Structure 1
Amino acid sequence: MSSSSSEVIADYLILSLPSSTNAREWLEQSLNNGKQPLYNLKIPDFQSGTLDSLVQVSEELTKIDQQLGSSVTKVIEILNNVTETSGQKSTTRIVQSRSIFDYIQNFQWNTSKYRLDKPINQLSQIISNEAITLDNDVRSSFQNYQTAKSNFLAADRKKNGDLSIKSLHEIVKPENFVLDSEHLTTILVAVPNNLVSDFNKTYETLTQFVIPRSAEIIAKDQEYTLFAVTLFKKFQQEFVTNAREHRWHPRTDFTYNEEVLNNLRKEFDITKATELKLKNDLIRLAKTAYSDIVASWLHIKVIRTYVEAVLRYGLPPQFDNYLIKFEGSNLKNLSKAKKELVQKFGYLGGDGFSNNSNLHEYASLVDTDYEPFVLYDLEIV
């Protein structure tokens, strides 16, 4: 699971060893000087099938494991993104109504949902399909929320921006305009306050047929003064072009129309309500998805551990499974613990792993990520 954009709050090593190693006492007392919390991982007996089928399903499980790990990270990123903006960010991780740590450390296979009489490949597909559907639902919901948020921010700028950009529906009145005239029109111009003197001196000469002394102050804020100017429609575009050259801001986006103004009055409230509803829907969905995808992911980890243990240690399944927890300041001990595990149980992988110096010229051919026993990471972000 990638944690590049999320902080790891805990990490578990999932370890499976042949029962003959009697490893529990050493793991409790000697690994990292006995400082690492150790838990039994209960793995049920699955329908193993043939070794050939297990090799095939092993490759598929690796992909599913990585995919679900990425899904969990994405859901957390989305939750943080949405809750950060409203100051609700929480690091609480709830899975099946319990803390994620309680869920992992006391894991029980969900036999009512995932019946153990089904072949492993069927179980893994059922579990992964459910999780991926949820992942897609969250991503789609997030996209809808982002669109609603953009619409609301645009409406908010119109409502609360300066006079060069804000919606004017609450500012203008019918008497500010020449309405229903065949030849005359009224243009609104937002003039920077430091250029008002220049505007008053020059607006009448900006083009032909500007009505003298027609400029009327409609509103003023810290940045701009909004004027209404009346002129002949024929010269409207020329006036607009010349006004921009003076660094004024003609509000060509605005035309006085009662129906449009009524819609603008509603726009802010509608976009705000939509954004809030979609945000709350998304938070609920993402929390549910997190719970279910993490549960699915751990079930896949358990199947993968079982399959790998059978492939390495053989049938009938006689192996012990453990969870080793690292969190807080102990996170830095994870790589140290891995080295201690290899030193202690490296013999399970043959001479090459118990003593790498024996490899000589073949050393570069050994997969450095390959452990001499079954070992997987489970990062919690």
Structure 2
Amino acid sequence: MGAIANYLVLSLPQSTNAHDWLTQELIGGKAPLYKIKLPDFQSGTLDSLVQESDELSKYDQQLSASVSKVIDILSTVTESDSTSRVVNSKQATDFIQSFTWNTTKYRLDKPINQLVKILSNEALTLDNDVRTSYQNYQAAKSNFLAADRKKNGDLSIKSLHEIVRPEQFVLDSEHLATVLIAVPKNLKSDFEDSYETLTQFVIPRSAAVIATDSEYLLYTVTLFKKYQQEFTAAAREHKWHPRTDFIYSEETLNNLRKEFDITRATESKAKNDLIRLAKTAYSDIFACWFHIRAIRVYVESVLRYGLPPQFDYYLIKFDGANAKNVSKAKKELIGKFGFLGGDGFSNTSNLHEYASLVDTEYEPFVLYELEVV
């Protein structure tokens, strides 16, 4: 996994005049601070904001999981942890540190519930597209690996059509058949000493090695057709590998060649299509996710601090040697701004009835953690 940057997303009433303290005093001024400007949304009623708070929490988690899933898929398919995380032509960290609301796509004359619906539908549709594309790639990869095993596996599993020749078989005989047995090299003596007596009517000294690899010897053995099934069953008991799947056919040989080429081309196309889609989806889902997070911060701020919306929004960054300071920073923030927990709902008296319904995970002020991989 690539480098991780952790952030605290913080909203405070403008009356706290927090900027200088956050810049100079919070964990000794070591955490980079970014001030984010959010627009004033069409808030609606307090009842609608409480309902929207629950929806936003759900979508925030869903879209965060979607972003992580796309990252996992890209890392798996490209076999690399260094895949660039680009959002709207910027590095993901730069995107959120310089975030501005996309008023072209998400017009501010729409109420919050419509904006949330648009954003979540867009992101979850892309998430579904990526998952479908990944399933298609997995199926194509599985088909190619099966064809590759037939072409390039060991003698116990690979296609034998390019190895054997017609003259190595008894063909068109009414009574005789030639069988192929892949024998592990460490069982060579066992095979040669006992194959003639596995069943009746095995042709003496008919065993011949026609191919070898690092693990197996491939033998032909000729016997009466009547005892072919009995012979192969006994061979398996000896831990040899009868290749009963093989029937000599020029047509089958040509089909196998085509199968390998077709499945290889299909797997390659499915992989390239998936990578292109996943990179685009990462950008768009991440952007939707952070827009959802922005609305969530706004809604929680209104519910906690009251109207009119006079809040400052901050990103506090923790990465590198500073990454371990998130918990310490939270304690310092509570020490400095904990008084908001007692006053947060008193500015507008009719907010009291909503106090028990508001997301209280980040009391005594609006605070969320954010991880960017």
2:141 and 2:101 map into 1 onto residues whose CA distance is 40
Answer whether contact 2:126 2:285 (CA < 8 A) is retained.
yes
Q: Does 2:295 match 1:300? A: no
Match of 2:193 in 1: 201
Residue among 12, 15, 25 paired with 1:17: 12
Match of 1:133 in 2: 125
Answer whether contact 2:2 2:82 (CA < 8 A) is retained.
no
Match of 1:180 in 2: 172
Q: Does 2:53 match 1:58? A: yes
Q: Does 2:140 match 1:148? A: yes
Answer whether contact 1:169 1:265 (CA < 8 A) is retained.
no
Residue 39 of structure 2: SS of its match in structure 1?
coil
Q: Does 2:233 match 1:233? A: no
Answer whether contact 1:8 1:379 (CA < 8 A) is retained.
no
Match of 1:45 in 2: 40
**Structure 1 residues 351 and 316, CA gap change in structure 2 (3 angstroms):** closer
Residue among 132, 135, 157 paired with 1:165: 157
Query: RMSD between aligned alpha carbons?
Result: 2.0
Q: Does 2:205 match 1:210? A: no
1:247 and 1:63 map into 2 onto residues whose CA distance is 56
Residue among 153, 167, 183 paired with 1:191: 183
Taking only the aligned residue pairs, the percentage that are identical comes to: 74
Residue 112 of structure 1: SS of its match in structure 2?
coil
User: Which string of whole-angstrom CA distances, capped at 9 and with x for unpartnered residues, describes residues 203-229 of structure 1?
Assistant: 222222223332222111222211111
Moved more, 225-234 or 23-32: 225-234
Match of 1:77 in 2: 72
Q: Quick one: which amino acid aligns to residue 96 of structure 2? A: I
Match of 1:363 in 2: none
**Structure 1 residues 370 and 103, CA gap change in structure 2 (3 angstroms):** closer
1:309 and 1:196 map into 2 onto residues whose CA distance is 78
Residue 143 of structure 2: SS of its match in structure 1?
helix
Answer whether contact 2:161 2:249 (CA < 8 A) is retained.
no
Residue among 96, 106, 114 paired with 2:106: 114
2:310 and 2:362 map into 1 onto residues whose CA distance is 22
2:187 and 2:336 map into 1 onto residues whose CA distance is 80
Residue among 265, 274, 287 paired with 1:273: 265
Residue 177 of structure 2: SS of its match in structure 1?
strand
Q: Quick one: which amino acid aligns to residue 276 of structure 2? A: R
1:370 and 1:13 map into 2 onto residues whose CA distance is 11
Residue 350 of structure 1: SS of its match in structure 2?
helix
Q: Quick one: which amino acid aligns to residue 306 of structure 2? A: G
2:337 and 2:62 map into 1 onto residues whose CA distance is 30
2:52 and 2:298 map into 1 onto residues whose CA distance is 11
Q: Does 2:27 match 1:32? A: yes
Moved more, 203-212 or 27-36: 203-212
Structure 1 runs not aligned, ≥5 long? 1-5, 353-366
Answer whether contact 2:87 2:283 (CA < 8 A) is retained.
yes
Q: Quick one: which amino acid aligns to residue 14 of structure 2? A: S
2:114 and 2:360 map into 1 onto residues whose CA distance is 31
Residue 230 of structure 1: SS of its match in structure 2?
strand
- When normalised by structure 1's length, the TM-score is 0.90
Answer whether contact 1:220 1:226 (CA < 8 A) is retained.
yes
Structure 2 runs not aligned, ≥5 long? 345-358
User: Which string of whole-angstrom CA distances, capped at 9 and with x for unpartnered residues, describes residues 345-367 of structure 1?
Assistant: 01011189xxxxxxxxxxxxxx9
1:202 and 1:35 map into 2 onto residues whose CA distance is 79
Residue among 248, 254, 264 paired with 2:246: 254
Give the count of matched residue pairs. Answer: 361
Shift of 1:91: 4.5
1:322 and 1:64 map into 2 onto residues whose CA distance is 21
Shift of 1:370: 3.2
**Structure 1 residues 44 and 184, CA gap change in structure 2 (3 angstroms):** same
1:121 and 1:316 map into 2 onto residues whose CA distance is 19
User: Which string of whole-angstrom CA distances, capped at 9 and with x for unpartnered residues, describes residues 326-359 of structure 1?
Assistant: 111111101111111111001011189xxxxxxx
Answer whether contact 1:15 1:374 (CA < 8 A) is retained.
yes
2:304 and 2:32 map into 1 onto residues whose CA distance is 26
Q: Quick one: which amino acid aligns to residue 10 of structure 2? A: L
